[in-house]
Structure 1
Amino acid sequence: MTGPAEVRCMLMRGGTSKGAYFLAESLPAGPAVRDDLLLRVMGSPDPRQIDGLGGAHPLTSKVAVVSPSTHPEVDVDYLFLQVAVDRPEVTDRQNCGNLLAGVGPFAVERGLVAAGDDETSVRIRMVNSGDFATATFPTPGGRVDYTGVTKISGVPGTAAAVVIEFPPGKSRLLPTGNPRDTVAGVGATLVDNGMPTVLIPAGALKATGYEEPKDLEADQELAARLHDIRLAAGQLMGLGDVSGTTVPKLTLLAPPRHGGAVTTRTFIPVRCHTSIGVLGAASVAAGLRIEGSVAHDIAVLPEQGDRLRIEHPSGFTDIESSIDHTSDGGFRARRTAVVRTARKIFDGTVFPVPPTGGRS
C-alpha cells in the first residue's frame, strides 16, 4: 500500500510557520504509509523540496492532521508532524504552537465545528503531548475572517487575531525539580510549559545572544556544544535518547535590547529559529518567572501584569504568563496565553510524487 495518488489539503500559515493541513480521514491510518505519503507531498528528502509543498526550511515543512475528538471537553484533535527537509524522516515527538493557530479556522472550514455569528472558540487537544488549548478567532456571519489589524513579528502585514489560551499542563514545569542544573558542564534551566526547553545564558557558550541566526548556525564549535547539551538535557528531562528528535529546544538568553523581557536565539535543533515557536516562548516566559533560574537572573521583568515580551531575531512575541508555587516548594504554570494570526493560502488537492520517484 502506498497511499492515495491525490489528497485534499489546505495550505495555511499558522503564526510564523507554514504547513499542510489535512483531515485525518484523508490520510492512511497506518503511520508508516502515512509518513511515506507526507514525505512525497512535502518533497522530502531534498534540500530544496523542489517537487513538493515544503519550503526548504523546518518552519515551512510541517503538517497538521485534524480530526473530531472523542474527548468530552474537546472539539478536535490535532496531531503535529514535522517533516524533515533533507532526510526521509517524519516525527511526532513535539507540538507546534504556530500551526496550532490555524487548527481552529481549519476545523470550521472543514465543518468539524460550527461557526458562531461573531467569533468562534475551538477546544483543541494536542495529540503529541495530550495538552489542551482553546483558540478564539473572528467568524462574522458564520465564516472565518482572516483579515484584521493584528501584526506579529516575522510575518509581513496584518491579519485577524487568533487568541490561544493554554490551561495548566499536567507535566512538571521543572522536569528535574531544580530551578538550575549543570548540563554538559553548562548552567541551565530545564523547563516544560508545553515545549521541553533548555534555557542557557548566551555568554556561557561564548555568544552574545544578539547574533544573526545564520552566523550562529555557521559556528561549528557552538553546534558541537549545543549537541552535547541537548543529549544530556534529554536524559535529565526524562525524554531518553533525543539524538533523532527535535526536542528539547535550546534557547540562548541575553538581556533585552528593545524594551522586552529577554532576547532569545532558539535552535530546532541545529537550525537557529528566525523567530521563536509559540510553545517555546511559553516555556521561556515561565522560566523567566522562576526565582533561581538562569533566565530570572537575565530577564527584565515588568513590575506588574502577566504580559512578557520575548525578543527574537525578527522582532518579538508577547506572552501572558504567570506561575504559582506548589506545596512541595516547586512551581506550576497558572496561566499562559498568546495572540497569533493565521491565513488560508490555498484549499484544494495535492498530488504527491509517485512512490517510484517518477512523474505523472
Structure 2
Amino acid sequence: MNDLLSIPCVLMRGGTSKGPFFLAADLPTDPAARDQVLLSVMGSGHPLQIDGIGGGNPITSKVAIIGRSTVPGVHVDYLFAQVRVDQQIVDTSPNCGNMLAAVGPFAIEAGLVAVSGETTIVRINNVNTGKVIEAEVPTPYGKVAYLGDAAIDGVPGRAAPIALTFMDAAGARTGRLFPTGAPIENINGVDVTCIDCAMPMILMEAEAFGVSGYETSAELNANSALLQRMEAVRLSAGELMGMGDVREQVTPKPVLVSRPRNGGALNVRYFMPHECHPSLATTGAVGIATACISEGTVASHLVGVRTPPIILSLEHPSGSLDVKLQQRDGKIVAGILRTARRLFEGRVFAKPVKNLICAA
C-alpha cells in the first residue's frame, strides 16, 4: 500500500518564475502541516532538491496556493510560499509578482473564475500582503490563451500577454512606504533606502560596495565578501523596518542600483536575498520604480525628478522590465506586462504529516 500523500497539482511558469499551483482545499488547513507538505513536495534541504520537484534555485522553488476569495469584490485568494532550497524553511511573508502572472489562468481553468469575453479580468487578493492585484487574462474563444506575441526578458520565446495592475502596493508588509520614516538611512556606513512597496527592499548604490552593478548574476553570487556585507546591512535594516530578526526570512530584499547603460531609467541587481536574481522580480520592479519617483531616495538620486504618469524601464541581468506608474484616487498604481504557461498537471506525492486536515 502506498503510504505517500497524493495531491492534485499544476506546474506553471509565471513570468520568470516556476512552481506548483495548488487549490487551498487540497492542502492541510494547519499552517505547520501545510508547510511540511510543501517541504516534502519541493525536496528542500538539499541543494538540488533531488527528492522533490523544486529546481534547486529560488526562482524555481516557489509555490502558489489558490482559493475562493474571502474579500468582497475579489475573485480569488492567492497565498505565495517561498520554499528555501538549502534549508527546510517555508516563508509566506512576501508576495511574488512573477508567480502572480499565472494565478489568473490557473483560477479560470480551475473553475474559480468564469470567462467574460476576449479578456477576463481576475481580481486577486494576495493573502501575504492583503493587497489586491488585477490580472487581464486573454480568453478568446472562451478559454485561456497561452500562445501569443508578447516577450519578456528572462524567458525564451513569445507568449500571450498578461497585464498585472498593482492597485495599491505601498506598505505591503509594514504598513508604510518608508518603514523607517525616512527615504534614506545610513547603515554600516552605507546610504540605503528602506522601502516597502509590493516587496520590502533595501536599495543601495552598487559603488558603495565596490562593484559596478553591471556584473552578471554569477559574478555577484561568487563574490562572498559582497554577499556577507550586504547580509549585514539587510539584518540591520530588518530591525529598523520593524520586521525583527530576518535571518530566516527572505525579506527585505537587497537591491544594488546604478546608472543605466542601455537607455533605461535605472540599472538594478536584485537579490533573493542571498543570490542574485537572473532577471528581476515583478514585485521588486514595482517597489524600485516607486522609489524612482519618490523624492530623496537612493534611486531618485540616480534617475532625477520623475513624475507619473510615466513608464520606467529597469535594466537587469537578462534585459529590462517596464513599469507603468500612474495615479488613481490619490494612490500610485503600477502596471507590468508578464506571460505565463501551464506546464504539467497531475498529482504530486509528499511524505505523510500529522494533523492532515484539508480545507474541503
TM-score normalized with structure 1 length: 0.92
User: Does structure 1 conserve the Cα–Cα contact (< 8 Å) formed by 2:170 and 2:197?
Assistant: no
Q: CA deviation at 1:199?
A: 0.7
Cα drift, residue 304 of structure 1: 7.7
Task: Quote how far apart the aligned CAs of 1:305 are.
Answer: 4.5
1:101 aligns with 2:101: yes
Residue 237 of structure 1 is matched in structure 2 by 241
Report the Cα offset of residue 247 of structure 1: 0.3
Shift of 1:353: 4.9
Q: 1:218 aligns with which of 212, 216, 222?
A: 222
Match of 1:329 in 2: none
Deviation of the 1:352 alpha carbon: 2.5
What secondary structure, in the 3-state scheme, does the structure 1 residue paired with 2:135 have? strand
SS in 1 for 2:247: coil
Task: Supply the AA of the counterpart residue of 1:156.
Answer: P
1:161–1:341: 8 Å Cα contact kept in structure 2? Answer: yes
Q: Who is 1:346 aligned against?
A: 344
Structure 1 position 216, deviation (Å): 1.1
> Structure 1 regions of 5+ residues with no counterpart?
325-331, 356-360
Please point out which of 282, 290, 295 is paired with 2:286: 282
Shift of 1:51: 2.5
Match of 2:356 in 1: none
Moved more, 212-221 or 79-88: 212-221
Residue identity matched to 1:215: E
SS in 2 for 1:226: helix
Measured against aligned partners, the alpha-carbon deviations of 1:158-213 in whole angstroms (never above 9, x if no partner) come to 11111010112462222222121112221011111111111100001111000111
TM alignment of 1:165-314, pairs within 5 A: 165-169=165-169, 171=171, 172-299=176-303, 305-314=309-318
Superposed CA offset, 1:125-156 (max 9, x none):
11011111010111112110011111000000
Report the AA paired with residue 91 of structure 2: T
The one-character-per-residue Cα deviations of 1:101-134 (angstroms, maximum 9, x if unpaired) are 0001100010000012311011111101111101
CA distance in 2 between counterparts of 1:333 and 1:262 reads 23
Preserved CA contact (<8 Å) 2:309 2:325: no
- Residue 70 of structure 1: CA displacement? 2.0
CA contact 2:257–2:268 (8 Å) conserved in 1:
yes
**Could you tell me whether the CA contact under 8 Å between 2:44 and 2:85 is conserved in 1?**
yes
1:241-266 deviation line (CA, Å, top 9, x unaligned): 11110000111001101111111111
**1:294-313 alpha-carbon deviations (Å, 9 max, x no partner):** 11121267788510001000
- Runs of 4+ aligned structure 1 residues displaced above 4 Å come to 300-305
On the 8 A contact 1:10/1:347 being kept in 2, the answer is yes
Deviation of 1:52 (Å): 1.6
Mapping 1:65-84, distance limit 5 Å: 65-84=65-84
Paired residue secondary structure (2:77): strand
Q: Give the Å deviation of 1:42.
A: 1.0
Report if aligned partners of 1:75, 1:122 keep a CA contact under 8 Å in 2.
yes
1:144 aligns with 2:139: no
Q: Is residue 260–residue 310 contact of structure 1 (8 Å, CA) maintained in 2?
A: yes
Contact 1:13 1:342 in 2 (8 A): yes
Name the counterpart of 2:53: 53
Larger RCO, structures 1/2 (Cα 8 Å, 6+ apart)? 2
Task: Confirm or deny: 8 A CA contact 2:308 2:326 kept in the other structure.
Answer: no
Deviation at residue 338 of structure 1 after TM alignment: 0.6
DSSP-derived class of the 1:106 partner: helix
**Conserved in 2, the CA contact under 8 Å of 1:254 and 1:298?**
yes
Q: What is the identity, as a one-letter code, of the residue corresponding to 1:344?
A: R
Which position in structure 2 is the counterpart of 1:337? 335
Task: Give TM-score scaled by structure 2 length.
Answer: 0.92
Contact 1:169 1:333 in 2 (8 A): no
Mapped to 2, the partners of 1:308 and 1:38 lie a distance apart of 36
